[in-house]
Amino acid sequence: MKVLICLAVAVTAIPAGAQVARSAGPAAPAPATVSLSIPGIAPGPDAAELRRRVAQLSARARSHARRLGLAPARRPAALPADPELLARREMRLARVVGFLSRSRELRVPVDVRAVPGRGPRGGDLASRLRREYLRASRLAVGLGVTRPAGLRIPATRAEMVREAARWRGIATWLGARSERIRPHERPLRARVPHYDALMCIAGHESGATWDIATGSGYYGGLQMDRLFQQTYAPRLYRAKGTADRWTAEQQMLAAERAIAVRGFTPWPHTARMCGLLQ
């Protein structure tokens, strides 16, 4: 098989990574991969090594997605054989992994998250970049992923094109995800109906010290006596003892059971101080 290589300029003038033109006779079959070793020019990517790196990045992306409570993307049936397509997929996955690795577990429930506004309507490149960034931000907030850092508008047009493509790739990846929020992942404020009121009472009763036992017959941040604990959290009292050994959430949920029956009357003085009783 004959492969004709035409170099229009001297080898030393060819920049690293440049394409080398190859032509063959019209009747000749497609040539096999030809490896050229020219001083000063980096060799093309090895397909086997690219496949290994893509598989590794895919596994990392799935791992980060599971850590964040997202549904991991489905594994592709088969990776493409074309090294160029593999290289593009590697770049996309590297950006996704970088984005997710900087994210943390959700801190605010979905129903009270601040969603960023719509992007500008202009047709210029900077406006397009802002739209892609805001789309990715909205999807991240909706999924419980930490909102990405502020957008930096690059100085050159080429960099803006690359940044817009990067945020479009991130938004596309996030758009295919779904979130599974477990009840215990919601903030305490969202899990306790009278959170602000109970925090105010605890602040006056104990300085919001939840593991306090003063020896006066009252325990925990809300200063509950033993009868109160046995009435509204009997199983917890038997399992863990007095309220100073309970978590803040367990103490608040016991108080919520009392509030449903008696209102805030178990704390007559501090509830008045918090404006909860007349």
The structure tokens listed for 34 are 């030809």
What own/partner pairs with CB < 8 Å and gap ≥ 24 does 227-231 have? Answer: 228/254, 228/258, 228/266, 229/254, 231/258
Identity of the amino acid at 25? G
The better pLDDT of the pair 114, 271 is held by: 271
- Bridge partners, 4 (sequence order): 23
Greatest alpha-carbon pair distance for the chain in Å reads: 99
Band of the pLDDT at 22, cuts 50, 70, 90?
very low
Give CA–CA dist 261/232, Å, rounded.
10
| Highest mean pLDDT out of 38-47, 148-157, 183-192, 236-245 | 236-245
256 dihedral zone (left: phi>0; alpha: psi -120 to 50; beta): alpha
- pLDDT tens-digit series, residues 161-215: 888 888 888 888 888 776 655 666 667 787 889 999 999 999 999 998 999 998 8
Q: Which of 120, 124, 123, 119 is nearest to 136 (CA)?
A: 119
SS3 label, residue 152: coil
25 dihedral zone (left: phi>0; alpha: psi -120 to 50; beta): beta
Give CA–CA dist 186/107, Å, rounded.
7
Q: What is the mean pLDDT of the chain?
A: 74
The better pLDDT of the pair 127, 121 is held by: 127
> Any idea which of 2-11, 30-39, 80-89 has the lowest mean pLDDT?
2-11
Residue 213's φ and ψ, nearest 5 degrees, are -140, 100
Q: Which residues make up the CATH 1.10.530.10 domain(s) of the chain?
A: 187-273
- pLDDT tens-digit series, residues 91-121: 878 877 777 766 654 444 444 445 455 545 5
Q: Give the count of beta carbons closer than 10 Å to the beta carbon of residue 92.
A: 19
Identity of the amino acid at 68? L
The structure tokens listed for 172 are 């596309």
The better pLDDT of the pair 226, 135 is held by: 226
Does the pTM of the predicted model rise above 0.75?
Answer: no
Q: Give the count of beta carbons closer than 10 Å to the beta carbon of residue 96.
A: 23
CB 83 within 8 A of CB 44: yes
What is 187-273's CATH topology?
Lysozyme (1.10.530)
Q: What DSSP assignment string belongs to 47-61?
A: HHHHHHHHHHHHHHH
The better pLDDT of the pair 177, 30 is held by: 177
